[in-house]
Amino acid sequence: MQKSIRIKTFALASGALGILLATAVPPLSAADNSNAVPNSMQTIQIHAKRYQFEPSIVTLKRGETVKLLLTSEDRTHGFMVKPLGIDTDIEPGKTTEITIRPGKAGTYTTICDHYCGLGHNGMKMKIVVEETAAKSSAANVVSASNTVSK
Amino acid sequence: MDRRSFLRIAGASVGIGVLYEFAPFLNRSSQADEITAFFKKANGEAPANFTFAQFSDPHVGFQGPPDPLGTKAFESAVALLNKAPRQPDFVLFTGDLTHDADNRDMHAQRMQLFKKIAGGLRTRVIHTVPGENDAALDGGVLYREHFGETHYSFDHKGVHFVALDNVSQGRPEVGAQQLAWLKADIARFPKTAPIIVFTHRPLFDLKPEWEWFTRDGDVVMNTLAPYENVTVLYGHIHRHDVHQSGNVMHYAARSLIFAFNDPATNENKKQLPFDSNDPFKDLGIRLVTSKDAEDKTAALGVKDVVLTKAEFAGLSGMQQMMKHSNSPGMSSSGDSD
């Protein structure tokens, strides 16, 4: 049984300050249980700065839910990969969280689509979705929820 | 009104930029009368045939691989248009007037140089929209100081022109405030009014992974959908492209700096190499001219334009032109579109 409210906590270092924050995310309904986020969900940190993403390649499994934690070192960057339904900004001093469950294997180019300077056009990374034995999903992305915490 | 009568596009081999010729009301009809009456009442200007040119992406301040020519192509385009026996009423510039710069002063110099080169046009009236190089980093502050508002509209001889800004928010986006403005702006016009939207980025998903799209482009197009005679002119992609969505034709202009490769056949975006034997290769004009009112064989006649070596070699004061490339505010560093 899902708890009515799931609390996620983040520890975000900001300069000399250590800040412990909690953010509430909307509860999942009973109908969404099939898409429930497993407690052992993989979490991947992706760090953006002029003009690169680190890591430059991320490998996921089709059908497996993953949480991406996006941060920026310097200024607002974009994080866009349309086939996966993701198009968000990454603001400095905040963590942007995206939960996805890719439904289709392939290699997806992710770009910064928030202009960030002269090297902007080279700022990209790859998301590789590997095939698994899991049951195929009709949708490429089951959910791409987006929460931002300071 | 017969939509084919609104916009006639044909091409000719000459040079750089795009020259459009409009014959707004070729056929007398009740719709034409309605629009004539509307524009006369709105601003006292009756619809009439006219021409204008579209230049795009001169990237003043960019110099170096793959294009060592700096502003030469832009200056050539100005010289070429000045030779036209019939001068256009105005010139539209669809963004990336300048190349982004490392500091504000340098960028301001580039904007001043753009204005100096554009000021050489015999056609004294120009209308501009910013590209991301001009306005995305500072929200358009410097651009407004030099060129005015980033979005606006005006009427000209029976055609309503809308300048849309899809760069200054940093993202490829028009934004809610401007969308509301657009809706209110065109609501003043009958659904048959000829409307030309000029902007920098494509308003449809041409190639999102190359950032050739606008996030809320579908909202823009839905706002324009009720209007029967809409054409979109844009730049950004540095190549000729024609796309139809519903009633609307989208025309991309070639740049005045270098070309990009074909998105249909390439995974990665690349600047096409400079050819010293063909210095203006892949830079060209699409001239748009009216077709005979009786010609029903095709809606538009478009002929690609190639800038030849003759245009390249025919410039006077070659050394002075090359001097511009070494002027303060020019750099050979950095990426581009």
- Is residue A15 situated within a structural domain? no
- Tell me whether A123 touches chain B (CB under 8 Å): no
- Is residue A107 situated within a structural domain? yes
Question: SS3 of A109, please?
Answer: strand
Closest alpha carbon within chain B to A107: B267
pLDDT digits (tens, 9 = 90+) for B118-153: 999 999 999 999 999 999 999 999 999 999 999 999
Q: Is the pLDDT of residue A4 over 90?
A: no
Comparing CA positions, the residue from B167, B196, B265, B7 lying closest to residue A115 is B167
Instruction: Tally the C-alpha atoms within 13 A of residue B77's C-alpha that lie toward its C-beta.
Output: 33
Q: Is the pLDDT of residue B309 over 80?
A: no
- The answer to whether B100 contacts A109, with C-beta atoms less than 8 Å apart, is no
- Is residue B192 situated within a structural domain? yes
- Point out the residue among B167, B171, B335 whose CB comes nearest to the CB of A78: B171
| Phi, psi at B70, each rounded to 5° | 60, -125
- Is residue A62 situated within a structural domain? yes
The CATH number assigned to the domain holding A136 equals 2.60.40.420
- Is residue A21 situated within a structural domain? no
Q: Which of A3-7, B78-82, B278-282 has the lowest mean pLDDT?
A: A3-7
- Is residue A26 situated within a structural domain? no
- Contact assessment for residue B216 and residue B250, using Cβ atoms and an 8 Å cutoff: no
- Is residue B149 situated within a structural domain? yes
User: In angstroms, what separates the C-alpha of A35 from chain B's closest C-alpha?
Assistant: 27
- Is residue A5 situated within a structural domain? no
List the domain range (segments joined by +) for residue A87: 40-149
- Is residue A19 situated within a structural domain? no
Which band of pLDDT confidence, cut at 50, 70 and 90, is reported for residue B337? very low
- Point out the residue among B171, B211, B335 whose CB comes nearest to the CB of A118: B335
> What pLDDT does B192 receive?
86
Kindly report the length of chain B: 337
List the domain range (segments joined by +) for residue B33: 3-325
Cα-to-chain-centroid distance, residue A88: 9
- Tell me whether A125 touches chain B (CB under 8 Å): no
pLDDT digits (tens, 9 = 90+) for B66-111: 778 889 888 888 888 888 777 888 899 999 999 999 899 999 999 9
Which band of pLDDT confidence, cut at 50, 70 and 90, is reported for residue B286? very low
Token output for B44: 């006292």
Closest alpha carbon within chain A to B267: A109
The ipTM (two decimal places) reads 0.79
The CATH number assigned to the domain holding B253 equals 3.60.21.10
- Tell me whether A117 touches chain B (CB under 8 Å): yes
- Is residue B334 situated within a structural domain? no
**Contacting B residues, span 124-163, partner chain A, CB-CB under 8 Å:** 132, 136-137
- Is residue A88 situated within a structural domain? yes
- Tell me whether A113 touches chain B (CB under 8 Å): yes
Structurally, chain B folds into a number of domains equal to 1
Q: Is the pLDDT of residue B299 over 50?
A: no
| Phi, psi at B12, each rounded to 5° | -150, 155
- Is residue B27 situated within a structural domain? yes
Instruction: Please write down the long-range contacts of A29-36, taking CB distance under 8 Å and 24 or more positions apart.
Output: A30/A2, A33/A2, A35/A65, A35/A101, A35/A142, A35/A143, A36/A2
Structurally, chain A folds into a number of domains equal to 1
- Please list every residue in chain A whose beta carbon sits closer than 8 Å to the beta carbon of residue B167: 115
